[in-house]
Amino acid sequence: MRFTTFSILAGLLLPGLAIAQLSGTVGPSTSTAHKTATKICNVLNYGAIASKTSDLGPPLASAWAACKSGGQAAGTMIFIEHTTDFEMYSSTSKGAVQGYGYVFHKAGAYGPRILRLYDVTNFSVHDLALVDSPAFHFSIDTCSNGEVYNMIIRGGNEGGLDGIDVWSTNIHIHDVEVTNKDECVTVKSPSKNILIENVFCNWSGGCAIGSLAAGTDISDIEYNHVYTQNSNQMLMIKSNGGSGTLKNVIFQNFMGHSNAHAIDLDSAWSSMSTVAGNGVGYSNITFDSWHGTVTNGANKPPVQVFCPAAVPCTGITISNNFMWTEAGSKNPIKTIYRKASRFGGFENV
């Protein structure tokens, strides 16, 4: 069944499309060629062996010590913090990190993340594969001016194994593919000036913003050209109570097939415990040019917008959307706004 083009305009006066962009340059301040010409510290030259049982720790520490001043550290890096002009990559595009998450998961446990950056400025991570993390695969925590690209992430088939989570400023994430059973590329609070584009999400929870709690502070976010298949949703914004704001966000050029939901803004997300506050304020959020299918539009609507009762959404625009349901006799829209004087709602269109 075809879900025809529709628009939802929330509020008396609406701004134009939310414009989110990077606030400055991203990536290392020193070129790869310059760093390579200066110094290369390869962990293989410090005793590292690519095997399931060998300990990478001592060779990595030795390589890092040799390259921490004026050089480049090559190899597997798990936790990078308090640094600048940093680049982690595979020069052959064949580099991969195997996390052996299945060892933890078959015992009913989770382990460490594969990679976390904390307080890193002017950086890039690229041309790597992260495989089977015991927990989250890649976290970008309180960083700035970074670029992540040309990456493949393959997680296990269960929750709690996020692909990329970012809460930072001025970050460009592009040309990545995530296959897992949890979130694909997710923005968390606080974040500002994040550009995410050319993303492929397979068999996952889909991309998301959240979970959002007290003091949410997210603005100027753009997702563009995202393809999602066989996932829980193409995009979810999730909270339950809380406070603060999510504003100036655009999700455009999404394509998906065989997903449960397409657009899902849920301010009463049942998988999250209720937190203090009247709700997160959602404003100036645009969903534009979405195409594809949901598995059963009668059971799970392609568009679901639940705004907080005490903090009505403002400036929500949904336009140029074409969705089909693969099963079910109807394709309902469930868009609920709490203030009838300012918002309209409709169902089972």
Query: Which positions are catalytic?
Result: 182, 257
Picking from 262, 254, 253, the residue whose alpha carbon sits closest to that of residue 231 is: 262
**DSSP secondary structure letter of residue 45:** G
Contacts of 33 (CB under 8 A, 6+ apart): none
* Strand pairing category for 206-212 and 183-187: parallel
In 3-state terms, what secondary structure has residue 101? helix
- For the record, the structure tokens of 180 come out as 């897992």
Give the separation between CA 218 and CA 133, rounded to whole angstroms: 27
Neighbouring CB atoms inside 10 A of 341's CB total 6
**DSSP secondary structure letter of residue 166:** E
The residue count for the chain: 349
Contacts of 85 (CB under 8 A, 6+ apart): 28, 29, 30, 121, 122, 123
Picking from 116, 172, 185, the residue whose alpha carbon sits closest to that of residue 144 is: 172
Contacts of 259 (CB under 8 A, 6+ apart): 206, 228, 229, 230, 231, 232, 233, 234, 292, 293, 294, 295
* Strand pairing category for 314-325 and 2-3: antiparallel
